[in-house]
């Protein structure tokens, strides 16, 4: 029963963890597309703006966290799961800080460096024009991250309990070993007592006595 529960938790954690991986892949593809557009429009300037680096860095970070989450879910190692939950928690805190700054600070655009490509303005306009869709996508991503932490906590607890059960089984087996040894020794002693040694008749005793003359 414990193995079935752990297998289900591992599959659920991998599935929920894949949401962050999909977002990371989307950020990487968007960053690569912006790199292509940037080099096509500005042939002489090889320096990329900060917005492209941010998109690529965010995508790579999410993909690495997703890979690490899959490893933690597959191995069910307590240390790996704990480190994965810490990464997800820090990511949620970063997202919450950025969201709070955008909502409460009216001049939040001044906190970011100047974007010479104009892609950041296009990104803002896209979010404003599709605010409902972007809001639900953001909620799904945050919910998936929170569920990942919750499933990681359960998987860590199940893994530690199963390990303790295995230890208790080993202890019980080791405790039964002396009894088994005593039974084996008693059985061997009883078999030795019942064994009657076979004494072969001497060869000289089987030799016929010498015949007497006349007999």
With cut-offs at 50, 70 and 90, classify the pLDDT of residue 125: confident
Q: Which residue has the higher pLDDT, 118 or 215?
A: 118
E strands along the chain, which residues?
Answer: none
Q: Determine the straight-line distance between the first and last CA of the chain, rounded to whole angstroms.
A: 91
Q: Is the pLDDT of residue 185 over 50?
A: yes
Taking the CB of residue 28, how many other CB atoms lie within 10 A of it? 18
Q: Is the pLDDT of residue 108 over 50?
A: yes
Q: Which residue has the higher pLDDT, 69 or 159?
A: 69
Q: Is the pLDDT of residue 167 over 50?
A: no
Confidence (pLDDT) at 210: 52
The C-alpha atoms of residue 199 and residue 196 are separated, in whole angstroms, by 9
Render pLDDT for 30-74 as a digit per residue (tens, 0 to 9).
Answer: 889 888 887 777 765 667 778 888 889 999 999 999 999 999 988
Q: Is the pLDDT of residue 187 over 80?
A: no
Confidence (pLDDT) at 157: 87
Angle 61-64-68 from CA coordinates, rounded to 5°: 140
Please give the backbone phi and psi of residue 13, each rounded to the nearest 5 degrees, phi first.
Answer: -65, -40
Please give the backbone phi and psi of residue 118, each rounded to the nearest 5 degrees, phi first.
Answer: 80, 0
Please give the backbone phi and psi of residue 143, each rounded to the nearest 5 degrees, phi first.
Answer: -65, -40
Mean pLDDT score, 106-122 = 72
Share of the chain above pLDDT 70, in %: 69
């Amino acid at each position: 029963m414990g193995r079935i529960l752990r297998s289900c938790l591992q599959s659920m954690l991998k599935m929920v963890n894949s949401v962050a991986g999909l977002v990371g892949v989307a950020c990487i593809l968007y960053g690569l597309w912006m790199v292509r557009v940037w080099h096509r429009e500005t042939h002489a300037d090889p320096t990329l703006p900060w917005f492209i680096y941010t998109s690529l860095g965010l995508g790579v970070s999410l993909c690495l966290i997703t890979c690490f989450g899959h490893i933690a879910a597959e191995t069910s190692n307590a240390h790996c799961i704990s480190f994965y939950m810490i990464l997800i928690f820090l990511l949620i805190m970063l997202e919450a800080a950025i969201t709070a700054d955008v909502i409460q600070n009216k001049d939040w655009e001044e906190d970011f460096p100047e974007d010479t490509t104009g892609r950041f303005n296009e990104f803002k306009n896209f979010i404003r024009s599709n605010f409902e869709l972007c809001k639900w996508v953001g909620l799904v991503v945050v919910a998936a991250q929170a569920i990942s932490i919750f499933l990681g906590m359960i998987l860590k607890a199940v893994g530690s309990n199963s390990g303790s059960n295995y230890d208790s089984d080993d202890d019980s087996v080791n405790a039964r070993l002396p009894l088994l040894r005593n039974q084996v020794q008693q059985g061997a002693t009883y078999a030795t007592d019942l064994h009657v040694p076979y004494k072969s008749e001497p060869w000289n005793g089987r030799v016929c006595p010498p015949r007497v003359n006349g007999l």
